Amino acid sequence: MEDQPQTAGNVGASSFDRPPDSEADRRAHGKAARKRVKRSAHAEYAPRPDRPDPVSLIVGQESTRVQELLPLRHERMLASPFTFFRGAALLMASDLSERPTTGLTVQLCGDAHLSNFGIYAAPDRRLVFSVNDFDESLPGPFEWDVERLAASFAVAGRARDFSRKRRRRIVEAAARSYREGMEEFAQQRALDVWYSRMDVDDIEARYGSESSKRQRRSFAKVTTKARSKNSLRAASKLTRVVDGRLRFISNPPVIVPADELLGDHDAQAVTEAAGAVFEKYRESLPDDRQHLLENFHYVDLARKVVGVGSVGTRAWVLLLQGRHTDDPLVLQLKEAEASVLEAYVGASDYDNHGERVVAGQRLMQSASDIMLGWTSSVGTDGIERDYYVRQLWDQKGSADVDGMRPSAMTIYAQVCGLTLARAHARSGDAPAIAGYLGSGTNFDRAMASFAEDYADQNELDYAAMKAAVDDGRLAMPSDTAS
């Protein structure tokens, strides 16, 4: 039986001219994958003898980035082994590529660590919870996302000084939730899977009885803060009024207005370049969203540093204004490079990596930003680069991992596991994956063992990067300060 999921790599594929395989056949196909990779085999991780030097991989990845921002990237990654893990998706992709795979393909997030999940406003303005980072999204074996998620909880548990036993329980909770969630989606109609989503009310209803009053208060605080984050709030924090018009503030290196950054280029040249980029983006949107954008005009542009691992990629914020200054729209244009998975699963079918990111996001999320689109731009160095575009803040919120107790992290692990299963079920063969995972705990226990082993590897890689800073191979902000 051919395993042909609907992914961003084959969205044109059609089964119109052939009858579907039965659910029993699909489950049998999944069970047969156990011959290729036993579920218990996922527990095994050991670095291969010829494993690439982690620092060399990091340096190679940085070759196309804004060089002046790399010291800031190094500083953020070296804040702790957990922040290092957030920026080390390439290292883990390299390691996972050497392991046998199930062959059960889904649209991967590609960087499914626990901080890449969160809440945001759906188009109907209800707060939903989902995967929210797709920079590395490509089709690939489902277990790669699960393994990265599992490892992230082990690393986070160490950062919180949880015991090994508690960390294991947390990771098993994430894997069990993924496995049981996949079984749940395997039994649903295709349209029910597609429409399924988790909003904040669902989280409270599903996990509220397991939560303490303290946890419920913390969750309410996160949702309240998220509801206040929108373009109006972004404009109030990131802009000031100059000669009666809004302008981005200057706070190098985190945010630098374009006219200040580009120096020799006058304001008119900046405006014209931004207009051309914006027009390409506008054309990537459905007609109704294009119509909506006609209510706004260009005001200002600035470079804004974002994330941990993303530091050094070119990221811009674009300020648009409606009829008055109380009607702003702040868009983020983030550079989309080749996915870290590309060297291991093959190149994207999309010529524009911004479109690749958008396609992956739309496949994995049940509701996405109405302003989600893509564009490209030729830089002052003459190189054309791809970007995806979204609202800078659209009622986004994330969990406070630093303040989590074991019980709270266990609940969060369950939420993330179920959410990842839903995202994978939208593009992959849910009955086949459910058939592979089964109803026992073999897979859950394997993920817990793998996660601990990989957390060990992460600490070794963190130490290697720290040593590279100490011996001068990698720069820190203090090295470039005047």
Cis peptide before 253 (omega within 30 of 0): yes
CA-to-CA distance for 346 and 349, rounded, in angstroms?
Answer: 9
For each of the chain's 482 residues, which pLDDT tens digit applies?
345 445 555 444 455 565 678 999 999 999 999 999 999 999 989 999 999 999 999 999 999 999 999 999 999 999 999 999 999 999 999 999 999 999 999 999 999 999 999 999 899 989 999 999 999 999 999 999 999 999 999 999 999 999 999 999 999 999 999 999 999 999 999 999 999 999 988 888 878 777 777 777 777 777 877 777 777 888 889 999 888 888 999 999 999 999 888 876 666 777 788 888 999 999 999 999 999 999 999 999 999 998 888 999 999 999 999 988 888 999 999 999 999 999 999 999 999 999 999 999 999 998 999 999 999 998 878 899 999 999 998 778 888 888 899 999 999 999 999 999 999 999 999 999 999 999 999 999 999 999 999 999 999 999 999 999 999 999 999 876 54
Res 12: pLDDT: 43
pLDDT for residue 2: 42
**How far apart are the C-alpha atoms of 425 and 423, rounded to whole Å?**
6
Q: What is the pLDDT of residue 339?
A: 97
Instruction: List the helix and strand counts (H, then E) for the chain.
Output: 20, 13
Q: What is the pLDDT of residue 212?
A: 76
| CA–CA distance, 116 with 111 (Å, rounded to integer) | 7
Structure tokens at 26: 């699909």
What is the per-residue pLDDT for 1?
Answer: 35
Burial class (CB in 10 A: 0-12, 13-18, 19+), 90: buried
Global confidence as pTM: 0.93
**Phi and psi at residue 117, to the nearest 5°:** -120, 150
Element (H, E) at 434: helix 430-437
Burial per residue of 152-185, b for 16 or more beta-carbon CB atoms within 10 angstroms, e otherwise: bbbbbbbbbebeeebbbbbbbbbbbbbbbbbbbb
pLDDT of residue 234: 83
191 CB neighbour count, 10 Å cutoff: 8
Residues near 375 by beta carbon (within 8 Å), at least 6 away in sequence: 277, 278, 280, 281, 284, 333, 354, 386, 387, 389
